Amino acid sequence: MNELLLKAASRFATAHAGPAGVAQTSIPGLAVIQAVTPSGLEYAISRPLICLVLQGSKQVSLGTEKFSFAAGDSLLITADVPTVSQITQASVAEPYFSLVLELDLAIIADLGMEMKLGPVGQGAAVRTEPTDADVEDTALRLMRLLERSAALPVLSKQLLREMHYWLLVGKHGGAIRQIGWADSHAQRVASAVALLRAEFAQPLPIKRLASAAGMSSSSFYQHFRAATSLSPLQFQKQLRLIEARRLMAAEDFSASSAAFAVGYESVQQFTREYRRLFGLPPGKDREAVKRMSSNARSPA
């Protein structure tokens, strides 16, 4: 791994990281993650992104598949899929550091047209590879640009475009290309996912989701499951449960209030499904999450 990149990320995270260890940058979609201890399990439905690990290690699970990656590796997520992640190696002496960049589908589509890239078949939504040298080099220049406020608004857009170019021609290129190809299955499923994200608390019949994707119900169900590893109903359920967990931990909602806020009509059903996903009933999990957040804010 590029030592200069690690040092630049460390400087930025030390100056800007919040209590959760996330340091958002002024470059759209780019953040630095820092941790001085291994983390608990974190549940999320991430947008398409690339994660470059600079120090330490992490594990991400999608369904029954597990992906372990460490310094020098990059994790690619090409669809809005529910993941369970955990930082597995971090210490005060050698903190975990990573760069996370949300992929810009408009840039990918534009580059694909300019580079005359053809469509590719639908592939795995999560994958890991050793980070390409050109990607590391561009990441370093992005981090250095953050320290030059006058140049930042002028040069950041072209550096982001360059980053997407090197990703497209690198080890992750085939997988990234599928999400930028107009009218691809990935793009169509993404339209339905956007609807699910916006209206997850409402009943969403499969016909409406299929219509948003421009597919028949049977074809949509098949391609949705291939892209996300879940059925549309399972996906919506995880969206509801993850949001309910956030409401209880961050906004102090009670279990029943959170259940109704995310669309459940039965607290008993909510409790059963919450425990099945997170391993604890809502009340106990809320206290565990709060304790973990409090510990993370305490001095090391």
Scanning the chain, the segments in alpha helix (DSSP H) are 3-16, 105-114, 133-145, 152-169, 173-180, 185-198, 206-213, 217-228, 232-250, 255-261, 267-278, 282-297
Q: How, if at all, do strands 49-55 and 96-102 pair?
A: antiparallel
pLDDT tens sequence for the chain (300 residues): 589 999 999 999 999 999 889 999 999 999 999 999 998 888 888 788 999 999 999 999 887 788 999 999 999 988 777 888 999 999 999 999 999 999 998 898 889 888 877 656 556 678 899 999 999 999 999 999 999 989 999 999 999 999 999 999 998 888 888 776 656 777 788 889 889 999 999 999 999 999 999 999 999 999 888 888 789 999 999 999 999 998 998 898 999 999 999 999 999 999 999 999 888 899 888 887 767 665 544 333
pTM passes above 0.85: no
DSSP category for residue 55:
E
Size (the chain), residues: 300
Tokens of 282: 């809502």
Tokens of 71: 């310094």
CB 123 within 8 A of CB 178: yes
Q: Which among 35, 191, 234 has a CA at the least distance from the CA of 242?
A: 234
